[in-house]
Structure 1
Amino acid sequence: MAGGTVVEARRERWWQDGPPLRSLAEAREYIEDVGISLLFGGAAARYPSLREASRDESLPRLPSGWGQDLEAMWTWKDTLPVQGRAWLGRYLSGKQTLLSGQLLADLYEFEGKEDDVLSVVGLSEEAGRLAGLLLDEGPMATRALRDAVGVTGKRFDQILTELGRRLLITNYGVEEGPGWASCVIELTARVFSVPSQGSRAERDARAAALFVDTMVEAKPAALCRAFGWSRERAVAALES
């Protein structure tokens, strides 16, 4: 398939050629359809983007870029995880990513218990401490987590990415406070029904099939980048 044709097919598949999303229900339908989507991606993004699917250039916009369409999207991304309709966290390339409940369940590697975090091998000390706080205290705002774990800035973001790539934590709405609202973080297994039914191979095959459908075409390397799989695992999932 020619490069231009792939780009055009992806724009259509990623809901970027039709009317922009205008409601929470439409945003939910979009996530359930594509399965995986960046929050922000830009017009030339490698993956679907909720921002691009909801962008409405007919609406007035402030010089900063803020407008009614962005405000609506901002509300959706906070609401969908609380409703259990979409997982949100640092996943694709460490960026904020939305996953449908089905894809999340197929990708989830653990038993689906609240204390999954206690059995994970290879977590950094700070990531283990943050996950332990959530296990003991319940959902917490990021401002409180920074203080409790004792890390800030880029290192704190790295910890959220470390846990997000393993799908152990999810964004869970926001907590209002001075200045900007603070994201609330919760354990994935307390919000979503994970993992899905079936063997690991069956779940991998479902995840790979959805990814290929959403991406229009995808080689094993693309699954390795997106899901953190080995090449052998990606090839097996695509061939099954």
Structure 2
Amino acid sequence: MKVKTIEDAREFVKEVKICTIFPSGKVEHTSLWEQVDLPDKQPGESGWGVKMGAVWTWKNQLPADYPNEIYYGKIKGGFAVLMEMDHLSGTHFPAAYQPVESLNPLAQRIFEYIRNEPWTTTELRNEVVSACGCSKSQFDTALKNLQISMNVVRDCEAEQDTWLTFQEVYADIWNQHVPDGV
């Protein structure tokens, strides 16, 4: 399937169930990038080019426009993916979920910030680096692990990357798989 429009991208994600945004030999999934049939950036062209602009926009727009059909998140290895909702609920979440208590103390601390109120990445990073004395890299790894373990998700409706708890956004999936909402 060659993807030329956001509607094509939606159908592609629904068909394959899960895809990375960009290709990697480290994962078994196809990528949206590989399926997009739009021109790459041409020599001398300013900006990203048509293909990169489309893929980058669609990774955010698909879950915003189709919140009951398409999920955006991270999988093991830190790869960004788009996922069909039934696959998320029936296959991915049960395999990937880890209680926040099983993560390192920095991830647990970041989760507490997010549990109490939504935070943008920049504001959260600045607060946590200052309060915890961690590096930007340590913060980024902890936030990525919170996504991989299905504890936090990006707010698909926000202009900037803003973080919410998975339980808050996807209560039905959470309640189906996490006993007593623990």
**Which band: TM-score by shorter chain?**
0.7 to 0.9
For residue 79 of structure 1, report the CA deviation from its aligned partner. Answer: 1.9
**Does residue 171 of structure 2 align to residue 171 of structure 1?**
no
Q: Distance in 1 between matches of 2:26 and 2:109?
A: 37
**Does residue 13 of structure 2 align to residue 34 of structure 1?**
no
Q: Distance in 1 between matches of 2:122 and 2:173?
A: 27
Q: Which has the higher contact order (CA 8 A, sep 6+)?
A: 1
Q: Distance in 2 between matches of 1:79 and 1:152?
A: 31
Q: 1:187 to 1:23 in 2, by over 3 A?
A: farther
Q: Distance in 2 between matches of 1:160 and 1:44?
A: 21
**Aligned match of 1:70:** 52
**Aligned match of 1:187:** 165
**Aligned match of 2:142:** 159
Q: TM-score, normalised by structure 2?
A: 0.74
**Does residue 85 of structure 2 align to residue 145 of structure 1?**
no
For residue 157 of structure 1, report the CA deviation from its aligned partner. Answer: 2.2
Q: Secondary structure at the match of 1:161?
A: helix
| Cα shift readout 1:36-67 (whole Å, capped 9, x = no counterpart) | 1111115896321011111424x653558821
Query: Structure 1: 5+ residue runs without aligned partners?
Result: 1-14, 111-115, 177-181, 199-240
> What's the C-alpha RMSD, in Å, of the aligned pairs?
3.2
| Cα shift readout 1:68-97 (whole Å, capped 9, x = no counterpart) | 122122111112233423222221421212
Identity %, equivalent residues: 24
| Cα shift readout 1:12-33 (whole Å, capped 9, x = no counterpart) | xxx4xxx3x1222222221121
Q: Distance in 2 between matches of 1:175 and 1:152?
A: 26
Name which of 90, 108, 126 aligns with 2:106: 126
Q: TM-score, normalised by structure 1?
A: 0.58
Q: Distance in 2 between matches of 1:153 and 1:54?
A: 33
Q: 1:44 to 1:123 in 2, by over 3 A?
A: closer
Q: Distance in 1 between matches of 2:21 and 2:6?
A: 14
Q: 1:30 to 1:46 in 2, by over 3 A?
A: same
**Aligned match of 2:5:** 23
Q: Distance in 2 between matches of 1:159 and 1:29?
A: 32
**Does residue 77 of structure 2 align to residue 93 of structure 1?**
yes
Kindly tell me the number of residue pairs found equivalent between the two proteins. Answer: 167
Structure number with greater Rg is 1
CA contact (8 A) 2:166 2:174 kept: no
**Aligned match of 2:180:** none
Query: Structure 2: 5+ residue runs without aligned partners?
Result: 178-182
For residue 186 of structure 1, report the CA deviation from its aligned partner. Answer: 2.3
